[in-house]
Amino acid sequence: MIYAKVAGTGSALPKRVVSNEELAQTVDTSDEWIKQRTGIAQRYIAGEGETTSSLAVDAAKQAIDTAGLNASDIDLIIVATTTPDLVFPSTATIVQNELGCFGGPAFDVQAVCAGFVYAFATAEKFVKTGAAKNALVIGAETFTRILNWEDRTTCVLFGDGAGAVVLSASDEPGVLTTRLYADGRQKENLWVPSGVSTNYQAMQDGAAFVQMNGQEVFKFAVKALAQVVDDALEEAGMTAAEIDWLVPHQANIRIIQSTAKKLKMSMDNVVVTVDQHGNTSAASIPLALDTAVRDGRIQRGQTVLIEGIGGGFAWGGAIFRF
């Protein structure tokens, strides 16, 4: 049996850090409000020359390096992003060009904040079926470029960054289960209501911004993520007590706490980066994973549950042995 194993991780952040206090100089908000409602203290914002693909490439190089591989060993690239460099070609092919590993498939996955889980689950199928040996899975965003900086209900929540993993074929586990879901009826609770074939003028005018019904997102997220946890554990034939680490999508500390409670897990075993990074959408899970691998919290042989939800709504999770 072939398993997909996380062979290496990496991450990258833009240079500029923006604290809540700095944001409060231009937006009608406060450090206290943001921290209390979301847990966010600061976020990184991409500047000129920093793009989704440049952050993705930096994260990818680290992941390939820590996997002990060369770029030429990579035979599949999937980039999860809501904020691609271009309409086309895909950010994955731009990353492939920068890495110089040509020929294998490279494509983007769009599931907003659930994008990394979707990309991870997709890459796992390639590896498990023998269609790829070393898959590079990246979550990368310059999400702050689709924020309306005059809308305090959204602009305080998000940040930019990238995280990456290499999933390699292995005869030992490995990814134990992946679960994906979507409910397209929820479109207008969290969306950018313009794109290439609808309301394109807003894109051209630089007015294609995130809109969100925060309370509906919150309620749905708590319920949906509880379902992910139940289903993933059942499918893996595991109990919550067997999970060493929860690495959740980093949207809001209160959503994270409710999933930890569902797992009866101490917050000491939950990787939290939302305070430092804000919500980096598809990048948040691999960024958090890499943070905890690098600082030595997550050790080889331990069991990790990742989960996330985003616009659509789309949501999902995975359990893997690191």
- DSSP category for residue 306: E
Residue closer to ligand ACO by CB (options 52, 168) is 52
**Which two tokens mark 303?**
């069991």
Stretch that binds ligand ACO, among 30-38, 79-87, 131-139, 270-278 (CB under 6 A): 30-38
Dihedral-angle region of residue 80 (phi above 0 means left; psi in -120 to 50 means alpha; beta otherwise): beta
∠ CA(202), CA(144), CA(193), 5° rounding?
Answer: 30
Give the x-and-dash track for 224-253 against ligand ACO (CB under 6 A).
Answer: -------------------------x-xx-
Q: Distance between CA 38 and CA 60 in Å, rounded?
A: 29
Give min distance, CB of 188 to ligand ACO, in A. Answer: 13
Binding mask 173-212 for ligand ACO (x = CB under 6 A): -----------------x---------------------x
Q: Interhelix angle for 284-294 vs 115-128, to 10°?
A: 70
The residues, any chain, with a CB within 8 Å of residue 291's CB and separated by 6 or more, are 11, 271, 273
- The residue among 97 and 148 lying less far from ligand ACO, judged by its C-beta, is 148
CB 139 → ligand ACO: shortest distance, Å?
Answer: 12
Asked if 218 is part of the footprint of ligand ACO (rule: CB under 6 A), the reply reads yes
Question: Cβ 2 to ligand ACO, closest distance in Å?
Answer: 33
From the list 17, 19, 33, 98, which residue makes contact with ligand ACO (rule: CB under 6 A)?
33
Residue among 177 and 250 whose Cβ is closer to ligand ACO: 250
Confirm or reject binding of residue 310 to ligand ACO (CB under 6 A).
yes
Of 20, 101, 113, 277, the catalytic one is 113
19 lines the binding site for ligand ACO (CB under 6 A): no
How far apart are the C-alpha atoms of 85 and 274, rounded to whole Å?
24
Nearest to ligand ACO of 192, 293 (CB atom): 192
Which of 156, 232, 285, 292 lies at the binding interface for ligand ACO (CB under 6 A)? Answer: 156
Number of residues that bind ligand ACO (CB under 6 A): 23
- CA dihedral (58, 63, 68, 74) positive or negative: negative
Q: Write out the two tokens for 69.
A: 């591989």
Length of the chain: 322
Residue sitting closest to ligand ACO (CB): 214
Interaction of residue 12 with ligand ACO, rule CB under 6 A: no
As a whole number of angstroms, the distance between CA 62 and CA 163 comes to 9
**Which of the residues 68 through 97 are near ligand ACO (CB under 6 A)?**
none
249 is catalytic: yes
Around 127, how many Cα atoms within 13 Å sit in the side-chain half-sphere?
32
Query: How far apart (Å, rounded) are the C-alpha atoms in residues 210 and 141?
Result: 14
Q: 185-213: b or e for each residue (b if 16 or more CB lie within 10 Å)? A: ebeebbbbebeeeeeeeebeeeebbbebe
- Residue 231 dihedral angles phi and psi, to the nearest 5°: -65, -40
Other CB atoms within 10 A of residue 180 CB: 17
User: Quick one: how far is CA 322 from the chain centroid?
Assistant: 18
CB of 159 to ligand ACO, least distance (A): 11
Nearer to ligand ACO, 113 or 147 (CB): 113
Q: Does 38 bind ligand ACO (CB under 6 A)?
A: yes
Strands 106-109 vs 76-80: parallel, antiparallel or unpaired: parallel
**Residues labelled catalytic:** 113, 249, 279
**Residues at the contact surface with ligand ACO, assessed by CB under 6 A:** 29, 33-34, 37-38, 113, 152-153, 156-157, 190, 212, 214-215, 217-218, 221, 249, 251-252, 279, 309-310
